[in-house]
């Protein structure tokens, strides 16, 4: 018993689609494995130190501010760009926030 041509064509198209989906899943799994392997070999990001320049300390935490205006004195202090130590930056941030109405 033979399969009608339209059904055979449909089955062939289905087989090709399944093969393409399987290939896409294989490629995605391979890319995920490569990304995980690369991430395992990347060094942890270095936190800024008091010896780094103020702009480098501020840039290291860019994006950490959600509520503060990025160019405000309190935001700069909160990012570590106002003083050389954490205590100086906290004091500058707190003073700027407290001075706001």
pLDDT in tens, 36-86: 887 777 777 777 788 888 888 777 776 654 567 788 888 888 888 888 898
Q: Where are the alpha helices (DSSP H) in 1-101?
A: 5-41, 54-60, 73-78, 86-99
Residue 65 is classified by DSSP as -
Residue recorded with tokens 């490569």 = 34
First to last CA, the chain: 87
Confidence at residue 67, expressed as pLDDT on a 0 to 100 scale: 66
Q: Average pLDDT, whole number, for the chain?
A: 82
Confidence of residue 3 (pLDDT cuts 50, 70, 90): low
CA 91 to CA 101: how far, in whole Å?
18
Task: Tell me how far apart the alpha carbons of residues 23 and 45 are, in angstroms, rounded to a whole number.
Answer: 35
Per-domain boundaries in the chain: 1-42, 54-99
Report pLDDT for 18: 92
Q: Which two tokens stand for residue 35?
A: 């990304």
Percent of all residues in the chain with a pLDDT value above 90, rounded to a whole number: 17
């Amino acid at each position: 018993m033979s399969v009608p041509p339209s059904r055979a064509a449909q089955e062939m198209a289905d087989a090709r689609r399944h093969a393409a989906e399987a290939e896409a899943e294989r490629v995605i799994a391979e890319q995920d494995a490569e990304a995980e392997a690369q991430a395992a070999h990347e060094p942890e990001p270095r936190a800024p130190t008091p010896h780094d320049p103020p702009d480098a300390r501020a840039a290291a935490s860019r994006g950490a501010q959600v509520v503060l205006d990025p160019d405000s004195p309190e935001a700069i202090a909160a990012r570590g760009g106002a003083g050389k130590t954490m205590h100086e930056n906290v004091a500058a941030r707190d003073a700027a926030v407290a001075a706001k109405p």
